[in-house]
Copies of this chain bind each other. A is one copy, B any other.
Amino acid sequence: MYLTQSLHRAMQQHPERIALRCGSRQRTFPELGERVARLAHALQKLGMQPGDRVAMLSLNSDRYLEYQMAVPWGGGVLNPCNTRWSAAEIVYALNDSESTILLVDDTFRAMAEGFRSQATTVREVVYCGDAEVPEGMHGYEAILGAAEPAPDALRRGDDLAGIFYTGGTTGFPKGVMLSHANLCSVGQAARSEGLASPGGTYLHVAPMFHLADIGMGMPHWIEGNTHTVLPSFQPEQVLATLERDRVTHVLLVPTMIQMLVDHPAMQLPRDLGALRTIVYGASPISEAVLERAMAALPGVEFVQAYGMTELSPIATINPAWCHQAEGRARGKLRSAGRATHCVEVRIVDADDQEVPRGTVGEVVVRGPNVMQGYWRQPELTAQAIRNGWMHTGDGATMDDEGFIFIADRLKDMVITGGENVYSIEVENALAQHPAVLTCAVIGVPSDEWGESVHAVVVLRPGQSVAVADLVAHCKALIAGYKCPRSIDFAEALPLSGAGKVLKTQLREPFWKNRQRAVA
């Protein structure tokens, strides 16, 4: 099994079908195949050797999908950059992965020019915009036009398909190594769970660097379906695209669903009859939002997917029926679902023994979706994958039918707007400010984001600093969404006997009478 296999198959079976739509551009599958083969050759001419990492830093576009196919076609390994990260974090990931080629679009061109000298392994930069090609960069269409179609290098099975960086518990991003078999196995499971249908159209509006979008796009690649691309989430544009392109499947986070159904443009007469399924992840959907969404989008099915980058990224699926009358009556709506096809999920205690049903334990996952490991981090890998089971760090219970209910996050993490923020990354950034003695970062309730990042800071004796200055200090080091939205100053942090910060105690006043969003 390999990523480009579905492209070969679609070229054979659907020679007239539109493969990609983005803005005013569209390509059939044979056109896409030709472009992918040429881009593969162009990357080889720029020095891409078998196994070399090739990075892309860009908003969503059709060229992002061409990149995702052309790199493995030409023998390389993907390294899609997190567009929300700071330059420092992106440079860390580029250097850590030793990426040799970087593709950038108009949005990130200036940032790339700024960090170019620090990204020491990047030898070539390809500009994917449509304006004049900046000096020192190669034009995407120019190199593609000058290349011949390359034969498919047929990287497959356990060959590394990509390195996908995620925030790290150690404070540094970790490179999650996923193989072709990892990604294809999840694509097959998602396909057979009904997350693609023959002849459908998938809308890429969630960020394409993220495994959530890559994973949810996979069943549509396998099926040979059409991919429609929007650069970012704008409710009006999403609604217009759903209608115009007769989109059948889309991945959104609950916040996006809420923004969509509550938007005034939702009131306009519109034919969204093609839309079959909205997949959401990152957190459970509230019953109120679901009610409004179901009323606004009659006939559309809602499906939750739970997982993480390390799981390619799907572990469990909460199917449509759990969102409907019977499932809700049986209490399944707040579940993260149960193990998808060919995947096993257990809830275990600290000794890795399965706990009785209904008891909180850690979610562990075994199957063809489990990553190969963290890039050049054998110790972290050995901590995460034990006896073949990926330890998610999420606490959950399981009911008698195998449905899991996320009960708590065992890792110290804030989930804000669907993004995971490890507290330690924020704490490390804050601690670098000369006025800060110590600090603790927690998630506090946010109507808009589920949680927002909150810091409790203890200043060095005699020092003072403005909240805005501390935030600005953080923004230079880490992604904007990771920076504290609010900061409290304290005399000291509550500590356990062992000297561990008692975050539960810090969280308590914020979460009194509220349920913490926990998936």
Residues in A lying within 8 Å of B, measured CB to CB: 1, 5-6, 8-9, 12-15, 154, 184-185, 188-189, 191-192, 219, 222-223, 338-339, 341-345, 367-368, 388, 398, 400-402
Contacts and interface: CB of A to CB of B under 8 A. Distances in A.
A449 to B, nearest CB: 33
A401 B154 CA distance: 23
Contacts of A9: 339, 343-344, 402
Given A1-B185, A188-B188, A188-B192, A342 B13 contact: no
A12 to B, nearest CB: 4
A72 to B, nearest CB: 15
Nearest to A13: B402
Contact of A1 (B342, B398, B400): B342
Contacts of A13: 338-339, 401-402
A15 B344 contact: no
A317 to B, nearest CB: 11
A339 B1 contact: no
Copies in the complex: 2
A41 to B, nearest CB: 20
Contact of A14 (B6, B341, B388, B401): B401
Contacts of A154: 388
A307 B230 CA distance: 40
Contacts of A368: 1
Contact of A222 (B14, B15, B341): B341
B222 A344 contact: no
Contacts of A344: 5, 8-9, 12
Given A1-B185, A9-B343, A13-B401, 10 more contacts: A1-B342, A5-B342, A5-B367, A8-B344, A9-B339, A185-B188, A188-B192, A191-B192, A191-B341, A192-B222
Q: Do most interface residues of chain A lie in helix, strand or loop, or is the interface mixed?
A: mixed
A503 B338 CA distance: 57
A59 B15 CA distance: 46
A222 B400 CA distance: 19
A16 to B, nearest CB: 9
A6 B192 contact: no
Nearest to A387: B154
9 contacts: A1-B342, A5-B344, A9-B339, A9-B344, A12-B344, A15-B400, A188-B188, A188-B342, A191-B192
Contacts of A6: 342
Which of A13, A342, A344 has the most C-beta atoms of chain B within 10 angstroms of its own C-beta? A342
Closest 4 CB pairs of A and B: A192-B192, A13-B402, A12-B402, A191-B192
Which of A8, A223, A345, A402 has the most C-beta atoms of chain B within 10 angstroms of its own C-beta? A402
B188 A341 contact: yes
A388 B152 CA distance: 14
A257 B268 CA distance: 52
A509 to B, nearest CB: 39
A335 to B, nearest CB: 12
B222 A342 contact: yes
Nearest to A345: B12
Contacts of A222: 192, 341-342
Contacts of A188: 185, 188-189, 192, 341-342
A154 to B, nearest CB: 8
A502 to B, nearest CB: 36
Which of A338, A341, A398, A401 has the most C-beta atoms of chain B within 10 angstroms of its own C-beta? A341
A345 B339 CA distance: 32
Contacts of A400: 15
Nearest to A368: B1
Contact of A15 (B223, B339, B401): B401
A14 B401 CA distance: 6
A361 to B, nearest CB: 14
A402 B30 CA distance: 13
Contacts of A342: 1, 5-6, 184, 188, 222
A402 to B, nearest CB: 4
Nearest to A12: B402
